[in-house]
Amino acid sequence: MKYLIRIDRDSIKKNPNAGRTSYCVPGRAEITLSFSLKKEAIMMQGDLYNKLQDLLGRYEVVNTRENLLTDTTTVEILATCCWEEMEDRAKEIKQELEKDGFTVNSIMSSVSRNIQQVHTLTPEPEYLYQFLETFVQCNKCTEEFSYKELIFNDHDDDDWSGNICPCCGSQDCCEIEYEKIKDVI
């Protein structure tokens, strides 16, 4: 017996991206955080840049500027993350700095974000849809199960097997045909 897996009429939607072969996704944002730090004079000895780089590890310290008048240092840190993560990154860095005795006076942030274009080989289909749940029967062990449970093995081009029974493992355990959208619309 041949089973027809029918398209769920209620699920058919016009694909707003029909025909498209490329789309844009926001790339990772490069965030520069500027911290204005105050620290006791005794702690300011040595190479502040290296100290901070050690302390912050994975973040890149891109610039430090000392202001002797106000006894503050502005540190610019480059963090690559998405925009949504920025606040957490800033908090994390602030905590690290405070743990080491710095007082963080203020945090400034600036973001540069790249847009990446992704290309696909097949254009987006005109319609989006789902198939109706359909039960099929194995012609060997006679078990019944959803067509979604059928197993497909795709080893390489020459060694392809499909419609494998999830219960007894026999190949081509039933014959199925998927309804085509062009026959429905």
Residues engaged in binding Zn ion (CB under 5 A): 138, 140-141, 165, 167-168, 173
Q: Which is nearer to Zn ion, 32 or 134 (CB)?
A: 134
Minimum CB distance to Zn ion, residue 173 (Å)? 5
Least gap, CB of 163 to Zn ion (angstroms): 10
Cβ-based nearer residue to Zn ion, 141 or 184 = 141
Q: Which is nearer to Zn ion, 168 or 184 (CB)?
A: 168
Q: How far is the CB of 138 from Zn ion (least distance, A)?
A: 3
Residues 6 or more apart in contact with residue 97 via CB below 8 angstroms:
35, 37, 52, 55, 56, 104
44 or 167, CB closer to Zn ion? 167
Handedness of CA 140, 170, 168, 148 (dihedral sign): negative
Residue 56 or 165 having the CB closest to Zn ion = 165
Least gap, CB of 149 to Zn ion (angstroms): 11
Region at 101 (left for phi over 0; alpha for psi -120 to 50; beta for the rest): left
Residue 171 beta carbon to Zn ion: minimum distance, rounded to whole angstroms: 10
